[in-house]
Amino acid sequence: MFISNIKIDGFKNLSDINIDADKRINVICGDNAQGKTNLIEAIWLCSGLKSFRNSKDKDLINLNCQSFNIEISFENSFRKQNIKYKLSKSNLKDKYIKLNGVPLRNTSDLFGNLCCVVFTPEDLFISKGSPDNRRKFVDICASQIKNSYRRVLNKYDEILIQRNFLLKNISIGKSSADELDVWDEQMSRLGSYISVIRYAYTKKLNIYAARLYNEISQGKENLEILYESSVFDNLENRSDYNGEMANEYLSKLKKARQEDIKAGFTTIGIQRDDLISKINGLNCREFGSQGQCRSVALVFKIAQAYILFEETKEAPCILLDDVLSELDNKRQDFVLSRISDMQVFITCCENIKLNGNKGRTFYIKNGKIINR
């Protein structure tokens, strides 16, 4: 899949953007604070996911404008498609979103059409940072493949909030412990399902990432990625999330109940799970060097793109926001060569060397594309 044209106006500092994109590499070059990341963010928004910067809807509209307009034309092997996305300050609740002329109710309905993989400098710390980032990574990846998974996650989050609220009330004597039963049962089924999906994704990720890591380390090191569940000792060959697994989950919740009441939150469950990266058997989080952690981050992202390609039969668009300049030449070449059959948008401050890779460079200043 590739984007053929992008029009943006009134989105943050961007105005009058009209880009005919190259099928391969698009370099967005400009000084700091000129609107490079804003452009990547606008594309990403059309993939149906929330802003990777956690921007609020109203902050997406230019301070001096009443609304923004984004229009993206893209093509896959079957057809040309078009997304129109408009948001007005006067009506923030009512987004105007059209896919191929057909109005959609929510941003999330865009999901699964324009598939993107975004890579930002913060992602470089994925193997070092908190487990939260790794859970988020696997959840985004899995929901890109299975749209309905996002709804299950949202439902689980709602229940977790309710349960934690109840735990606090129980600890101050305002509610009774039996009231937990109804939440525990729902949580067990949803949590088991989420465990199955995450485990399956992690297994796939492990296959691709291990191969890629072997290449980037020139066969010197091996990488293994494991899903660490706080509930299940073993997830291999398990799929009965409404039966046996849910019962096991439920009994673990029951066992932890007193501790949960004391703590005032739910101490076990998928919100405590993690993705472990081991290099030559050692946990990267504790023992990885900066270079190793960067390599792990790269192979995570490339593997995400490959799995998306395999599952959807379409190459995703790769959005590299300011990451290439963070990498040494060897790693830059590695990334570009491994995604050579995909469309890429690269933002950077200086003109980067494309090393024979063909592409187009756009210069951005003060939110506008300029000639140079």
Ligand X SMILES: Nc1ncnc2c1ncn2[C@@H]1O[C@H](COP(=O)(O)OP(=O)(O)O)[C@@H](O)[C@H]1O
User: Would you tell me which residues interact with ligand X (CB under 6 A)?
Assistant: 12-13, 30, 32-38, 59, 61-63
| Comparison of 37 and 107: residue with beta carbon closer to ligand X | 37
Beta carbon of residue 15, minimum distance to ligand X (angstroms, whole number) = 10
Q: Which of 25, 28, 29 is nearest to 350 (CA)?
A: 29
**Crossing angle of helices 180-216 and 244-255, rounded to 10°:** 110
Collapsing DSSP states into helix, strand and coil, what is residue 252?
helix
Beta carbon of residue 38, minimum distance to ligand X (angstroms, whole number) = 4
Binding segment toward Mg ion, per CB under 5 A, in 22-30, 32-40, 144-152, 222-230: 32-40
| Comparison of 14 and 212: residue with beta carbon closer to ligand X | 14
Q: Kindly provide the residue ranges of all beta strands, DSSP E only, lying in the chain, ordered along the sequence.
A: 2-9, 17-20, 25-29, 67-75, 80-88, 91-99, 102-104, 116-119, 223-228, 274-279, 282-283, 317-321, 344-348, 359-365, 368-370
Q: Residue from 26, 37, 120, 188 that binds Mg ion (CB under 5 A)?
A: 37
Beta carbon of residue 1, minimum distance to Mg ion (angstroms, whole number) = 24
| Comparison of 138 and 364: residue with beta carbon closer to Mg ion | 364
User: Residue 47 binds which entry of ligand X, Mg ion, none, with Cβ cut-offs from 5 to 8 Å by kind?
Assistant: none
Beta carbon of residue 141, minimum distance to ligand X (angstroms, whole number) = 24
Site residue total, Mg ion (CB under 5 A): 2
Say how far apart CA 316 and CA 111 lie, in whole Å: 13
User: Residue 62 binds which entry of ligand X, Mg ion, none, with Cβ cut-offs from 5 to 8 Å by kind?
Assistant: ligand X
| Comparison of 63 and 172: residue with beta carbon closer to ligand X | 63
**Biggest alpha carbon–alpha carbon distance for the chain:** 70
CB 220 within 8 A of CB 302: no
Q: Kindly provide the residue ranges of all beta strands, DSSP E only, lying in 115-249, ordered along the sequence.
A: 116-119, 223-228
| Comparison of 36 and 252: residue with beta carbon closer to Mg ion | 36
Binding segment toward Mg ion, per CB under 5 A, in 29-37, 91-99, 249-257, 327-335: 29-37
Beta carbon of residue 321, minimum distance to ligand X (angstroms, whole number) = 7
Say how far apart CA 350 and CA 136 lie, in whole Å: 31
Say how far apart CA 97 and CA 70 lie, in whole Å: 10
User: Residue 182 binds which entry of ligand X, Mg ion, none, with Cβ cut-offs from 5 to 8 Å by kind?
Assistant: none
User: Residue 102 binds which entry of Mg ion, ligand X, none, with Cβ cut-offs from 5 to 8 Å by kind?
Assistant: none
| Comparison of 36 and 128: residue with beta carbon closer to Mg ion | 36
Under DSSP, the state recorded for 13 is T
Interface residues with Mg ion (CB under 5 A) are 36-37
